Amino acid sequence: METLWAPWRMEYISASKEDGGCFLCRAAAEGADEQTSLVVHKSRTCMVVLNRYPYNNGHLLLAPRRHIAEPADLSDDESRELMALLSRSIAVLRAEMRPDGFNAGLNLGRVAGAGLDTHLHWHVVPRWSGDSNFMPVIASTKVIPEALEDQRRRLASAFAAAR
């Protein structure tokens, strides 16, 4: 039997299930540690955060910095910035990770799959031909080959350069 080590998952497994507040609001706060909160980029009203529990390497969350739950609550500036960040995120991921395609979208409400349903956010997930290989199908295991901290650093540099 082979062992797949994923020590970063222990934080998630052992975390208290009690409400620890909104991780996106903590990431958006002035003076937040961007490395710890996995912030890749902040604009005036929105931000891009690396997903701590990704479906694939490069799985990004795009969110307004304001704590809102519904698209109708977005200001015009937030709407424009989110759309610009969506395009920029795809361009950065294309250049840095060379995926074959993307899944991009949002889940509104818990029944729609939103793990955090009180702070609106979009998912941008890079996809590669064959990324649904035997591991998730047979072993119910997803392999994420790059450490999140290294990935955050690399993507943050790419976002800064893509201005």
Catalytic residues: 121
Angle value at C-alpha 40, between 38 and 46, nearest 5 degrees? 105
Residue 103 phi/psi, 5-degree rounding, is -110, 130
Both tokens of 77, joined, read 């500036």
How many whole angstroms separate alpha carbon 92 and alpha carbon 94? 5
- Rounded-to-10 torsion of CA 108, 114, 118, 122: -70
- Rounded-to-10 torsion of CA 76, 86, 122, 5: -150
Distances (CA, A) of 106 to 5, 110, 117: 30, 11, 10
Q: Give bridge partners of residue 41 from the DSSP assignment.
A: 48
